[in-house]
């Protein structure tokens, strides 16, 4: 047997840390080659070439084109809103699944669903940061003005959405240009009992057996340009679509993932980690658990509520488990101690490096600003939650819009410019799909009671809602608000988009009145946030300059924290030694589904899927082995010592060491040739702390094996029309 020390050294030698910007790929070409990734790094850096021009964003997840007719594949949980939008009491596609056997049967995914195709990423750091003021608030506003100017120039064509994103905490800025597909339709989704088999119990766990996939389709006008939903629209023809390798991958194979990871905090200070561990995550987790329990209870009593809040509940449960995983991980691995040791070493390096010795002062200043930021966050937390009603949130935004519309468009706050109005309107419409008065009131009441039980009070809110004489209970007060408002009606909400601020200020609608009453306090707090952001926009970049130099001096990978922009990460198919001292094999089999099946949610696999397994209808999807010849790779990773003699089934899910996080859901997993072999959908529980620190020995991402997707399409749901669209290749 290999000793634990050898195992650790081997794993560290194979460390695959890095969420790389595409342009960085040539700089790590040697590392890609070592993993057996043969596609040229220069090709991966080019967003106009295969495969990167087939990778798209959903705004919160990742997807990819897999046919010349605009067919898109992503995770089931990423397409959940589209499935929920089309589910009714008479046909519950969440529970039963959905398959359109022809394009005419493909329903809209909803007014808010978009596909974003990144076409260009341009470094605009100099344009954003040139000649900035030393006054914090003015500095913040100048940065925003520079960003908006670049965005306006980029969006000369209404079919494009542009953004300017900060990298390395404001040290760099990039302009990102994306084509928007506005007509997205639902094509094929398995039942939730297959897609989320194991539910929250298995979430972030392994072994997994999830069919977490869904197909959508992009449509455009007959002229080939993006257009809103219309029966006259035609399938979008992407510049390229991914080839799907039906032979898949084996343990030890190199793989890479492209997608839109949401947020990581790997360069944050130890004090920030301690705050997250001691206050932020426990506080958030406590609130989420209360909301989850309330929605679940009310959904159990009302099927309509259960459907409406299915997506909300799933998202909350996912975040809840992540917070708990982070807290458990901090304790189990002492991430705080690891971060502190590295930070101490960084400070010693600062003291000895002539170029960066003076940066200790900037570091001290940054720490002082972070103390202020943490204090402000705690002070505002309960007041911000006390505005959690969906109707009050809409009223707040509508009144803000009326005030912003009095300014020139370039001076308006982001989110309230003319470029934002289509999405603004769509969000107001979408409230209906996940809103119920009784649920909204119950959740809001919980937040108001929490606000009422602490000392950081806002007079305007108290005056409107808190009856100190207690002649009327808070619950009864809210009943009155909901009974008197017209904000529950979609057409009334939309009418307010054209109203003037005076109309709001004279309105008798209780939610509008409350929005007006809270406006000054909200704006004052926003100004405080902007001022602090302006101070941090000086302190953070200085800190990052020194940190990057320190990392380079140690020959560590240097890449920006995730920020929702397109990234590439590489690794290899591999199992791991889990927290319970058991080795987790890299692949799971169909038989694992029947072994876990109890018939009781969440282990209630669909009957037709179980029958196909029972009858061993594997077709040509059966795989005899998921391991390479041991002689050729025995020393590459230790998992070969525990490999089973024969696989003899269809692979369901598999593990790899790629570096992913939230937002990478739905990301295509490629083999070394750039062919699609799976979809990223989760991480292992032990790996959750990678948002703060990447531990190569236990960090594993969980993927849906595309061989399982093809098997379900072929043997279970008979999606022959879609299989014919796919570009299938073999090794």
Q: Which residues are catalytic?
A: 77, 212, 665
Alpha-carbon distance 658 to 573, whole Å?
9
Gyration radius of the chain over CA positions: 26
DSSP-assigned letter for residue 23: G
Under 8 Å between Cβ of 655 and 687:
no
Alpha-carbon distance 681 to 703, whole Å?
6
Strand partners, 340: none
Residue 285 makes CB contacts below 8 A (sequence gap 6+) with 320, 323, 324, 327
Alpha-carbon distance 291 to 13, whole Å?
44
Alpha-carbon distance 129 to 540, whole Å?
13
Greatest CA span in the chain, whole angstroms? 81
How many residues appear in the chain?
731
Under 8 Å between Cβ of 226 and 179:
yes
Alpha-carbon distance 422 to 127, whole Å?
28
Helix (H, G, I), strand (E, B) or coil at 553: helix
Cα 7 off chain centre by: 32
Do the strands 576-577 and 583-584 form a parallel or antiparallel pair, or are they unpaired? antiparallel
Question: How do the residues of the chain divide into helix, strand and coil, expressed in percent and rounded to 5?
Answer: 50, 15, 35
What is the secondary structure of 234-269 as a DSSP string?
A: EE---S----EETT---BT-EEEEEE------TTS-
What is the Cβ-side half-sphere exposure of residue 621, based on CA atoms within 13 angstroms? Answer: 24
Helix (H, G, I), strand (E, B) or coil at 377: helix
Residue 613 neighbours by CB distance under 10 Å? 22
- List the structure tokens of 570: 């590489």
Write out the H or E segment, with its range, that includes residue 180.
strand 172-181
- List the structure tokens of 591: 């038989």
- List the structure tokens of 37: 């990734």
């Amino acid at each position: 047997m290999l000793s634990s020390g050898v195992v650790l050294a081997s794993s560290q030698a194979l460390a695959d840390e890095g969420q790389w910007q595409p342009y960085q790929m040539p700089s790590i070409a040697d590392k890609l080659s070592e993993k057996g990734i043969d596609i040229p790094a220069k090709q991966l850096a080019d967003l106009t070439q295969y495969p990167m021009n087939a990778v798209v964003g959903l705004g919160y997840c990742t997807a990819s084109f897999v046919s010349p007719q605009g067919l898109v594949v992503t995770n089931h949980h990423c397409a959940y809103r589209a499935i929920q939008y089309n589910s009714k009491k008479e046909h519950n596609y969440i529970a039963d699944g959905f398959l359109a056997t022809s394009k005419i049967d493909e329903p809209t995914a909803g007014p808010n669903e978009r596909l974003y195709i990144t076409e260009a990423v341009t470094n605009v750091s100099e344009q954003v940061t040139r000649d900035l003021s030393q006054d914090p608030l003015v500095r913040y506003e100048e940065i925003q003005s520079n960003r908006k100017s670049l965005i306006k120039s980029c969006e000369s064509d209404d079919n494009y959405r542009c953004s300017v994103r900060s990298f390395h905490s404001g040290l760099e800025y990039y302009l990102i240009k994306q084509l928007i597909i506005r007509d997205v339709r639902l094509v094929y989704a398995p039942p939730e009992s297959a897609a989320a088999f194991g539910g929250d119990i298995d979430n972030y766990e392994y072994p997994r057996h999830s069919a977490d996939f869904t197909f959508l389709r992009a449509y455009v006008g007959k002229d080939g340009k993006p257009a809103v939903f219309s029966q006259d629209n035609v399938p979008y023809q992407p510049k390229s679509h991914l080839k799907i390798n039906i032979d898949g991958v084996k343990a030890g194979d190199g793989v890479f993932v492209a997608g839109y990871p949401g947020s990581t905090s790997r360069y944050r200070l130890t004090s920030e980690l301690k705050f997250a561990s001691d206050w932020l995550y426990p506080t958030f987790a406590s609130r989420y658990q209360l909301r989850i329990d309330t929605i679940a209870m009310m959904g159990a009593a009302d099927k309509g509520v259960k459907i409406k809040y299915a997506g909300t509940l799933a998202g909350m449960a996912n975040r809840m488990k992540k917070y708990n995983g982070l807290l458990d991980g901090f304790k189990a691995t002492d991430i705080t101690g690891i971060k502190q040791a590295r930070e101490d070493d960084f400070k010693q390096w600062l003291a000895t490096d002539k170029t960066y010795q003076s940066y200790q002062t900037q570091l001290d200043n940054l720490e002082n600003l972070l103390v202020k930021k943490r204090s402000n966050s705690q002070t505002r937390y309960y007041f911000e939650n006390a505005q959690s009603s969906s109707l009050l949130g809409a009223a707040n935004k509508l009144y803000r819009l009326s005030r912003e519309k009095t300014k020139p468009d370039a001076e308006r706050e982001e989110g309230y410019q003319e470029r934002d109005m289509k999405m603004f309107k769509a969000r107001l419409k979408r409230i209906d799909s996940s809103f119920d008065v009784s649920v909204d009131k119950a959740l809001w009441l919980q937040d108001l009671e929490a606000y009422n039980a602490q000392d950081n009070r806002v007079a305007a809110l108290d005056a409107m809602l808190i009856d100190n004489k207690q002649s009327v209970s808070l619950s009864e007060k809210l009943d009155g608000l909901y009974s008197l408002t017209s904000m529950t009606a979609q057409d009334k909400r939309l009418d307010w988009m054209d109203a003037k601020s005076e109309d709001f200020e004279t309105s008798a609608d209780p939610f509008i009145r409350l929005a007006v009453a809270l406006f000054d306090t909200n704006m004052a707090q926003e100004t405080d946030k902007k001022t602090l952001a302006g101070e941090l926009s000086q302190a953070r970049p200085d800190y990052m300059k020194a940190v990057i130099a320190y990392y380079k001096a140690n020959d560590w990978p240097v890449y920006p924290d995730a920020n929702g922009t397109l990234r590439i990460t590489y690794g290899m198919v591999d199992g791991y030694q889990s927290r319970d001292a058991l080795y987790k094999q890299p692949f799971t089999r169909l038989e694992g589904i029947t072994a876990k099946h109890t018939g009781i949610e969440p282990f209630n696999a669909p009957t037709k899927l179980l029958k196909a397994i029972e009858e061993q209808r594997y077709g040509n999807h059966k795989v005899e082995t998921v391991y390479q010849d041991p002689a050729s790779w025995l020393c590459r990773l230790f998992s070969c010592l525990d490999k089973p003699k024969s696989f003899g089934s269809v692979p369901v899910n598999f593990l790899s060491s790629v570096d992913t996080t939230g937002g990478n859901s739905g990301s295509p997993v490629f083999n070394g040739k750039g062919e699609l072999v799976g979809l990223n959908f989760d991480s292992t529980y032990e790996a959750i702390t990678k948002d703060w620190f990447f531990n190569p020995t236990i960090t594993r991402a969980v993927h849906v094996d595309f061989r399982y997707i093809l098997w379900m399409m072929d043997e279970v749901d008979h999606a022959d029309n879609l299989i014919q669209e796919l570009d299938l290749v073999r090794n």
